[in-house]
Chains A and B, each alone.
Chain A
Amino acid sequence: MSKNVRYLTSYTIDKYNHSLIKNNRNIIKAIQQNDKRVIQELYYDNRDYFLNWASKENHISFEDAKDLYQDAMVVLIQKIQDRKVERIFVSFRAYIFGLGRQLIRNKIKEEFKRDKREGIFSDRSLLLGENHTEDNRIGLVVSQLDSLPDPCRYILTHFYLKNLTYEEIAVSLQYKSINSLKVQKYRCLKYLKDRVFKNKVKNI
């Protein structure tokens, strides 16, 4: 990644020359296209403000604040790339702070619940069990995805994990139409699902 990323990009976050909404629209478009430079710039641009706010006003450690900031950024990017958020009417900073506030609330709730559980059962295996279940699911799905033959592995990885569009994948794999790529993607998805559940049954 470029070292002088803060001074680059046609989408540079210009606070003075454009209206907020127009500027937000450009940033959203760039994130939808997975423009890494814009995502990186957004990360740098709000990081210090967020860490100061989270650690001072919410009394959490700097390391926890960093972790929360990254979680907030993950939620933001996923919401935009999944087209769940197409417009933002406040500044990006305010939006990220809003997400952070929600995450902090969840974290406090989770810790309270955990303390209560620990107090009652003196047993953390329940909580660890939950994490293991999630880890197992990701492990199983990703390992089966990795072992799929091409073009299935390529299509599903690029569509679901790298967030490429149908158009980009079609060009790269030389599909003549988007529709035939879609049909192939669903065929691959069924293949993946069958393999995941065949393996899941085997491991029980």
Chain B
Amino acid sequence: MKYNSKKMHFIERYFNEDLSKEELEFFELEMQRDEEFKIEVTQYEYVFGGLKEARARKLKSDFKKIEDQLHSRRPKYNFSVASIMRYGAVATVAVLFTIAAFNFSNLEPVIETEQVFSEYFRPYPNVIAPVTRTTEVDDSDLKHVMSFYDAKEYDAAIEGFDKLLADVDLKNEMLFYKGVALLAKGEAAEARDHFESMDQINNFSNQRKWYLSLALVQLNEITDAKELLNEIIRDKSYFMIYAKDLLEILSPK
């Protein structure tokens, strides 16, 4: 069997126990007949096993986080009567103070925007280098700039984006990737300006909304960020999964 994607699909289905009886017989026959194929299958078993186990460990660590949240939320019921009285008095004062504070100010719940941002921000992958052959810009210039972006050398990448911004066909993409690079550097205000300068309807419109909302979170402009996150959910774009999560965090009850 030579390399092709159909063969790989076949091997993956074998590990997913998804082959029909006839296909399984053929697969096993092929393993006996073709030593190279057998070695290849063994190697994929190693890789698929590693990926599966890595996913299981990630899931388990997610459950451990849920457990930690649970502990931080649950009160400990080991009060004595005296301590209840003491805590009761303190709590009464605290409640009165809180009510007064709400009456005299417009307090918003505190949201750790920095922490939220770092949890959700990931540089968007480079997906434009292979799809720019119709533009007038020399492909190698773009690849060169994007290689800086891939290597997280954002200063060099931003310098390159600035040069390529003159090209009308690439303007939106360059504004977008420059915005992401600025965001990665912590320059949220400038990043927001770049995302806002993009055309709202373009190939990167969904990505634009998501990264713009992250910039707004970073700038503590929570109301605008929430509005944008709601839009992402309404659009049902891929970022909807993250937008729902983030919206919940930004809307503490």
A contact set with B: CB distance below 8 Å: 1-5, 8, 34, 36-37, 40, 43-44, 47, 66, 70-71, 73-74, 77-78, 82, 84, 134, 137-138, 140-142, 145, 149-151, 153-154, 156, 160-161, 163, 168, 171-174, 182-183, 186-187, 189-190, 192-193, 196-197
Contact = CB atoms under 8 A, between A and B. Distances in A.
Given A74-B60, A138-B57, A174-B203, A82 B16 contact: yes
Given A74-B59, A173-B125, A150 B150 contact: yes
What are the 10 tightest A-B residue pairs by CB atom distance, in nearest-first order? A141-B50, A2-B248, A150-B125, A186-B8, A186-B5, A70-B63, A172-B238, A154-B125, A160-B51, A74-B59
Contacts of B253: 2-4
Interface of B: 3, 5, 8-9, 12, 16-17, 43-44, 46-47, 49-60, 63-64, 66-67, 69-70, 73, 125-127, 131, 150, 203, 206, 237-239, 241, 244-245, 248-249, 252-253
Contact of A189 (B8, B59, B239): B8
A107 to B, nearest CB: 15
Nearest to B3: A190
Quick one: which of A44, A71, A168, A190 has the most chain B CB within 10 A? A190
Contacts of A40: 66
A33 to B, nearest CB: 8
Given A3-B253, A150-B125, A141 B5 contact: no
B63 A73 contact: yes
Contact of A70 (B50, B67, B73, B244): B67
A186 B54 CA distance: 19
Contacts of A142: 50, 54
Given A168-B238, A183-B5, A161 B58 contact: yes
Contacts of B54: 138, 141-142, 160-161
Given A70-B63, A189-B47, 17 more contacts: A1-B245, A2-B249, A44-B66, A44-B70, A47-B70, A71-B60, A82-B16, A137-B46, A138-B50, A141-B54, A142-B50, A151-B126, A160-B55, A171-B206, A186-B9, A187-B5, A190-B8
B70 A134 contact: no
Chain A interface main SS type:
helix
A193 B57 contact: no
Contacts of B252: 3
A107 B150 CA distance: 45
A183 B127 CA distance: 16
Nearest to B128: A174
A146 B158 CA distance: 24
A137 B53 contact: yes
In terms of DSSP, what is the predominant structure of the interface of chain B?
A: helix
B127 A151 contact: yes
A43 B55 contact: no
A78 B55 contact: yes
A140 B203 CA distance: 36
25 contacts: A8-B248, A36-B245, A43-B66, A47-B70, A73-B59, A77-B59, A78-B52, A84-B17, A134-B53, A137-B46, A137-B53, A140-B50, A141-B47, A150-B150, A153-B125, A160-B52, A161-B58, A171-B206, A171-B238, A172-B238, A173-B125, A174-B127, A189-B8, A189-B44, A196-B46
Nearest to B131: A174
A74 B63 contact: yes
Contact of B67 (A66, A78, A137): A66
Contacts of A183: 5
Given A141-B51, A160-B51, A172-B238, A78 B56 contact: yes
A145 B70 CA distance: 33
B49 A182 contact: no
A18 to B, nearest CB: 23
A150 B59 contact: no
Nearest to B39: A197
A171 B249 CA distance: 25
A189 B11 CA distance: 12
A196 B70 CA distance: 39
Given A151-B127, A193-B43, A161 B51 contact: yes
